[in-house]
Structure 1
């Protein structure tokens, strides 16, 4: 969603349903990183702790890092409930609270892609990853419900609040985290070689309406609702946005009797050259 439209706070709403829906992808990425017993694993942008907890269950020394204090607490509680040893810390991609060269595996499941300064995030990931270690992250590929909702909502908020101030030419440039040539160039500056593979996952619901209802508690949706609430015509704006989103997800729905949509995503693997 557009930064000028919404100040995104990942502690808002309920990220938990999204975390649950993305658990299968965390399982794939963690399995790709095995063996993990005895290895130091950092889960950057850990959210509710999926990747860190999966790694801990495989014997890793796992640390989850997330800027959202509420999600850090959720992840800690999940670790206790599962009897797993994992550390969860507040921190963001531009200042990872991990010592230099100590992460054998650094994972980031649809998280670092939201960092406002991609180059600073890559530099930090390179700093904390040990020689011979691996960085593995996931990013959405354009298309699918995730990108559709973000795009439609972002455009709507830009219409309501304007395009904001003139972009600062010195501001960090966005990175297409799914694009292999762009990734190779961005990571090479920090001595990292990159490989990219694409996969697909499906999201389902009983209807497009149910899918949007569940999505309505995502931090992005709640942040947008809070921004719209500052307008005197907030009720009409919220109804207009809901209508646009429903039209968009109906158009990409692959199941005429319920709701299913394919979401392509990239698994990016980076290593020190």
Structure 2
């Protein structure tokens, strides 16, 4: 039986920081695409342990990092101390951000806000807290890419709860543009290399141990189904490996870079109050 978990409970499982570290280049690329620089007011929504917020702070920007999982932000705070960076961390729901209209010059979300259950509410909030003329920049997994196949595999063993489009719908250009209506939206398919040199079975084991959705999936399966799931996961990463015969392995994920520029004199107003989200 599938266990219902809140977003905070889900992302406290495993150790997502060890998974995010594999694709840290994505956060740096997002910051560069958003042209974050000194003195800018920047919000990172769904920041996790800071793989976009930290490089944004390193530019000299004034950064606020938000997430529903305080455990991840505690890890991010330690990363910031280790790097000598200063930024503010705040627990917040992407569907109801606790900030004023137009408070930030740039709003970022690197594989974060796409997991908010109410996608329309999250999109409105991303736009609302960005100043007129500012930009909302996102990195979202694509439905027809490797991560889309990954989540379809997971859903066969652990069906998602709730209605509405899945998180990876954010990676469809038309869907993302429709959600961010009122802004000038540009999209660009990109790839991020996975920083992992081990064989597919080792990469599968890494995800099974540390990636919260997989930790939750295995916890809800009996031993036979768990073994079947692990076998399919190894097959998935084997197919993903594009390295030469004999190695080393090479893995990459496709994602959609979304850049939404707000009109210079029109701010997006706060949506009506909604109950807290039950899941990320």
TM-score by length of 1: 0.86
* Number of matched pairs: 254
Gaps of 5+ in 2: 264-280
Where in structure 2 are the equivalents of 1:37-52 lying within 5 Å?
37-52=38-53
The 3 A distance-change label for structure 1 pair 264 and 76 is same
- Whether contact under 8 Å (2:193, 2:251) holds in the other structure is yes
TM-score by length of 2: 0.84
The 3 A distance-change label for structure 1 pair 11 and 146 is same
Q: 1:257 aligns with which of 246, 249, 260?
A: 246
Where in structure 2 are the equivalents of 1:63-212 lying within 5 Å?
63-158=64-159, 171-174=163-166, 176-188=169-181, 191-203=182-194, 204-212=196-204
Is 204-213 or 246-255 further displaced after alignment? 246-255
- State the match for 1:241 in structure 2: 229
- Whether contact under 8 Å (2:218, 2:226) holds in the other structure is yes
The 3-state SS of whatever aligns with 1:211 is: helix
Tell me how far apart the structure 2 counterparts of residues 64 and 53 of structure 1 sit (CA, whole Å).
9
Q: Residues 143-172 of structure 1: CA distance to partner in whole angstroms, max 9, x if unpaired? A: 5543333221211224xxxx87xx7xxx54
By how many angstroms is 1:119 displaced? 0.1
- Whether contact under 8 Å (1:117, 1:174) holds in the other structure is no
Tell me how far apart the structure 1 counterparts of residues 223 and 165 of structure 2 sit (CA, whole Å).
35
The 3 A distance-change label for structure 1 pair 174 and 210 is closer
Tell me how far apart the structure 1 counterparts of residues 49 and 191 of structure 2 sit (CA, whole Å).
22
Is 74-83 or 142-151 further displaced after alignment? 142-151
By how many angstroms is 1:202 displaced? 2.3
Tell me how far apart the structure 2 counterparts of residues 177 and 58 of structure 1 sit (CA, whole Å).
27
The 3-state SS of whatever aligns with 1:260 is: coil
- State the match for 1:227 in structure 2: 220
Divergent runs of 4+, >6 A: none
By how many angstroms is 1:252 displaced? 3.1
